[in-house]
Amino acid sequence: MNHERPEADKRLPYGEGIYRRRTRLVAEPERVVANLEDDFHRFRVELLHDARAIRAVQGEAGRFPWTACPGAFRPLQAFVGAALGQSPAAASRGLNPRENCTHLFDLAVLALTHASRGGRRQYDMAVPDRVDGRTRATLHCDGELALEWEIEGSQISGPAPWSGHNLRGRDFLHWAEAELDPDTAEAALALRRSVFIANGRLGDLDRTPNAGSMLRWAANTCHSFTPGIAEEAWRVRGATREFTHQPERLLADLELRGRC
Which pLDDT value is given to residue 193? 96
> Sign of the CA dihedral 177, 90, 114, 85?
negative
Q: H or E segment at 147?
A: strand 144-152
**Which pLDDT score, from 0 to 100, does residue 32 have?**
97
Is the separation of the CB atoms in 224 and 239 below 8 Å? no
**Cα 248 to the chain's mean position, in Å?**
18
pLDDT tops 80 at residue 25: yes
Q: Pick from 102, 111, 100, 106: which is nearest to 77 by CA? A: 100
Does the pLDDT value for residue 38 go beyond 90? yes
For residue 136, the cross-strand partners are 150
| Residues 254/21, Cβ–Cβ less than 8 Å | no
**Residue range 172-190, pLDDT digits in tens:** 988 998 999 999 999 999 9
Position 37: which residue type? Answer: E
Residue from 73, 109, 115, 107 nearest 94 by CA: 109
**Contact, 19 vs 38, CB < 8 A?**
yes
Integer Cα distance of 22 and 114 in angstroms: 16
- Please write the tens of the pLDDT for every residue from 119-148: 999 999 999 999 999 999 999 999 999 999
pLDDT number for residue 259: 65
Residue 225 DSSP symbol = G
For 81, what's the count of Cα atoms within 13 Å in the CB-facing half-sphere? 4
Residue 69 · residue 50 · CB < 8 Å: no
List the chain domain ranges: 7-145+174-202+235-251
Q: Kindly report which listed range (61-75, 94-108, 118-132, 133-147) carries the lowest average pLDDT score.
A: 94-108
If pLDDT is split at 50, 70 and 90, which confidence band does 169 have? confident
**Average pLDDT value for the chain:** 91
Which SS3 state, helix, strand or coil, does residue 213 take? helix
